[in-house]
């Protein structure tokens, strides 16, 4: 029986709770990879109803930032604990004081409180507080507006303008703003957070390793949740063993997770090919697992993609879709179609390969596999347009 889109979205969000995800790939890549027929309207319905909240978890340069999605009743236990220095400045302080005193406020209220004649100064300060995890909004609209305006700022870097100004304020300032502290009041002692964090990691990964915990930036690291995992083992809620070769011996798994992995491996016939955003929590390389040796420098950068064949990396498309890195042993005739699908499915407008494994794309020994997948010979090399 197929799961209804709304129920599938809720299940996906349950599993992603606590994970810091680049805002630029959240609705384009991460959620559609988990929810067939994903609609932004379904996500908006959850935030508008107050069930779902979002919290900034660090800026990514000037043009992006990580966000954590949480169900409101779990926010106190799972909200990210920022280790960043809080933004300092007179406008930042005014915004903090106003939101603490007046509560949730719209843009005109913030303008009046800040007393600045330059709305761009106010908007930058507001988003400094967002990425620091201090301020949030009751809708996702300003987050989307920030991402759109940031892409425009790349083309015109002299003066980034996060959102056109309107009478009611810029799109990136829309909605009601409030302090994250208003969401996280409640039982937030160390033990409660550790238990909630361990349960989320088990649910998200199935098998939890030291490397996965460190990659997530879990407060206290593996040592912080190890006692909880050990207690879950003693109560039968988790199993301890050596499940993933090459990683640490202290590994914990949900009951049945290892059996499911073995069943999938033993019943497999045709190769399983997947294309994930490089920064997707389900993409383990560069985090829980090291990248295999390759001529390039793959990374978990937002905007980059990885083609996996039977769980192993086959090809890495760098941000900008102009440079491709392949991994030893990967057959291009298997992964070329998956690479082309990034443009065919609309996740990328254009893939214009100029370089593959450090050489001009046209000189790549297996370039015919790309043309066989539908790439055309463009001005710089193999090109696929959506």
pLDDT digit string, tens, across residues 307-365: 999 999 999 999 999 999 999 989 999 999 999 999 999 999 999 999 999 999 999 99
Sign of the CA dihedral 215, 305, 171, 120? Answer: positive
Confidence at residue 150, expressed as pLDDT on a 0 to 100 scale = 53
The runs of H, that is alpha helices, within the chain are 5-16, 23-25, 40-48, 75-78, 90-102, 107-114, 119-131, 141-155, 190-205, 210-216, 221-234, 257-267, 332-344, 367-372
Which has the closest alpha carbon to 73: 44, 40, 96, 49? 49
Could you tell me whether strands 359-360 and 355-356 are parallel, antiparallel, or unpaired per DSSP bridges?
antiparallel
First CA to last CA across the chain, in angstroms? 32
Phi, psi of 276 (to 5 degrees): -120, 150
pLDDT of residue 192: 82
What is the CB neighbour count within 10 angstroms for residue 257? 19
Chunked into runs of 10 residues, the chain (386 residues) has average pLDDT values of 70 93 94 94 93 94 91 88 81 96 94 87 95 95 82 44 57 94 78 87 90 84 90 92 84 85 69 94 92 92 95 96 95 96 94 97 96 95 93
Q: Which of these, 140, 325, 212, lies nearest to 226 by C-alpha position?
A: 212
**Cα dihedral 340, 319, 154, 117 in deg (nearest 10):** 110
Tell me the pLDDT tens digit for each residue of 74-109.
898 888 876 668 899 999 999 999 999 999 999 999
- Domains of the chain and CATH, by start: 5-182 (no CATH), 190-266 (1.10.10), 271-288+295-385 (3.40.630)
Q: Are 68 and 18 in contact (CB under 8 A)?
A: yes
Query: What contacts 233, CB < 8 A, 6 or more positions away?
Result: 239, 240, 252
If you search the block for the tokens 């033993």, which residue do you land on? 266
Tokens 């988790």 found at: 238
């Amino acid at each position: 029986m197929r799961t209804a889109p709304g129920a599938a979205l809720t299940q996906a969000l349950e599993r992603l709770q606590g994970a810091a995800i680049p805002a630029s790939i959240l609705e384009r890549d991460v959620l559609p990879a988990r929810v067939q027929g994903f609609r932004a309207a379904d996500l908006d319905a959850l935030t508008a109803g107050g069930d779902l909240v979002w919290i900034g978890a660090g800026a990514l340069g000037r043009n992006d930032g990580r966000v954590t999605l949480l169900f409101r009743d779990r926010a106190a236990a799972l909200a990210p604990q920022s280790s960043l220095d809080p933004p300092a400045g007179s406008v930042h302080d005014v915004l903090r004081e106003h939101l603490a005193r007046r509560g949730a406020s719209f843009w005109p209220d913030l303008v009046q409180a800040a007393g600045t004649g330059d709305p761009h100064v106010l908007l930058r300060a507001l988003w400094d507080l967002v990425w620091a995890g201090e301020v949030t909004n009751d809708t996702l609209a300003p987050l989307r507006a920030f991402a759109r305006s940031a892409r425009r700022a790349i083309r015109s870097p002299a003066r980034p303008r996060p959102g056109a100004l309107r009478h009611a304020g810029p799109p990136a300032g829309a909605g009601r703003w409030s302090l994250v502290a208003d969401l996280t009041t409640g039982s937030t002692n160390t033990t409660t957070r550790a238990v909630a964090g361990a349960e989320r990691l088990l649910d998200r990964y199935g098998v939890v390793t030291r490397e996965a915990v460190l990659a997530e930036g879990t407060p206290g690291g593996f040592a912080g949740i190890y006692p909880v995992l050990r207690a879950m083992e003693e109560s039968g809620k988790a199993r301890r063993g050596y499940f993933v070769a090459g990683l640490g011996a202290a590994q914990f798994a949900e009951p049945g997770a290892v059996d499911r992995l073995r069943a999938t491996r033993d019943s497999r016939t045709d190769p399983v090919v997947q294309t994930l955003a490089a920064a997707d929590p389900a993409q383990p390389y560069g985090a829980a697992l090291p990248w295999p040796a390759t001529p390039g420098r793959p990374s978990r950068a937002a905007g980059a993609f990885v083609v996996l064949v039977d769980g192993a990396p086959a090809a890495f498309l760098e941000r900008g879709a102009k440079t491709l890195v392949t991994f030893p042993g990967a057959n291009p005739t298997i992964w070329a179609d998956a690479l082309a699908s990034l443009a065919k499915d609309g996740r990328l407008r254009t893939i214009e390969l100029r370089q593959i494994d450090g050489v001009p794309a046209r000189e790549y020994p297996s370039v015919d596999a790309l043309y066989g997948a539908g790439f055309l010979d463009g001005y710089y090399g193999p090109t696929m347009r959506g």
